[in-house]
Amino acid sequence: MAVLLIAEHNNKELRPFTLNAATAASQIDTEVHALIIGHNSADAAKQLSELPIIKKVLTVEAAHYENFTAENFTPVIVKLAENYSHIVCSANTFGKNLMPRIAAHLDTSQVSDIIKVISPDTFLRPIYAGNAFATIKSNDAKKCVTIRPTSFDPCESTGGSASIEKIEAGEEFLNTKFIKREEIKSDRPELGTARIVVSGGRGMQSGDNFKLITEVADKLGAAIGASRAAVDAGYISNDHQVGQTGKVVVPDLYIAIGISGAIQHLAGMKESKIIVAINKDGEAPIFSVADYGLEADLFEAIPQFMEELNKLNTIQK
Partner 1 sequence: MKILVAVKRVIDYNVQIRVKEDNSGIVTDNVKMSTNPPDDNAIEEAVKIKESGKATEVVAITVGEEKAQETVRKALAVGADRGIHVKAEGILEPLAVSKILQKIVEKEKPDLVFMGKQAIDDDCNQTGQMLSALLNWPQATFASKIDVKDNKLEVTREIDEGLETIEINVPAIVTCDLRLNEPRYASLPNIMKAKKKPIEEMAASDLGVDVSPRLEQLKVEEPPKRKAGIKVANVAELVQKLKNEAKVI
Q: By CB under 8 A, tell whether 42 contacts partner 1.
A: no
Site for partner 1 in 187-206 (CB under 8 A): 192, 196
Of 26, 108, 193, 199, the residue at the interface with partner 1 (CB under 8 A) is 108
Long-range contacts at 161-165 (CB < 8 A, ≥ 24 apart) = 161/49, 161/50, 162/34, 162/48, 162/49, 162/50, 162/51, 162/54, 162/55, 162/56, 162/57, 163/49, 163/56, 163/57, 164/45, 164/46, 164/49, 164/57, 164/58, 164/59, 165/56, 165/57, 165/58, 165/59
Q: By CB under 8 A, tell whether 50 contacts partner 1.
A: no
Q: By CB under 8 A, tell whether 171 contacts partner 1.
A: no
Closest CA to 146 of 35, 18, 298: 18
Of 130, 189, 203, 258, the residue at the interface with partner 1 (CB under 8 A) is 130
Q: How far apart are CA 226 and CA 236, in angstroms?
A: 8
Q: By CB under 8 A, tell whether 153 contacts partner 1.
A: no
Q: How far apart are CA 15 and CA 9, in angstroms?
A: 5
Q: By CB under 8 A, tell whether 265 contacts partner 1.
A: no
Distances (CA, A) of 92 to 8, 105, 114, 192, 207: 10, 21, 12, 10, 27
Smallest distance from the beta carbon of 75 to partner 1, in angstroms? 10
Of 158, 168, 184, 283, the residue at the interface with partner 1 (CB under 8 A) is 184
Site for partner 1 in 275-294 (CB under 8 A): 275-276, 282, 287, 289-294
Q: How far apart are CA 101 and CA 73, in angstroms?
A: 9
Of 12, 137, 166, 211, the residue at the interface with partner 1 (CB under 8 A) is 137
Q: By CB under 8 A, tell whether 119 contacts partner 1.
A: no
Q: By CB under 8 A, tell whether 43 contacts partner 1.
A: no
Q: By CB under 8 A, tell whether 107 contacts partner 1.
A: yes
For partner 1, the closer of residues 52 and 285 by Cβ is 285
For partner 1, the closer of residues 102 and 147 by Cβ is 102
Secondary structure letter of residue 44 according to DSSP:
H
Of 30, 40, 83, 131, the residue at the interface with partner 1 (CB under 8 A) is 131
Q: By CB under 8 A, tell whether 41 contacts partner 1.
A: no
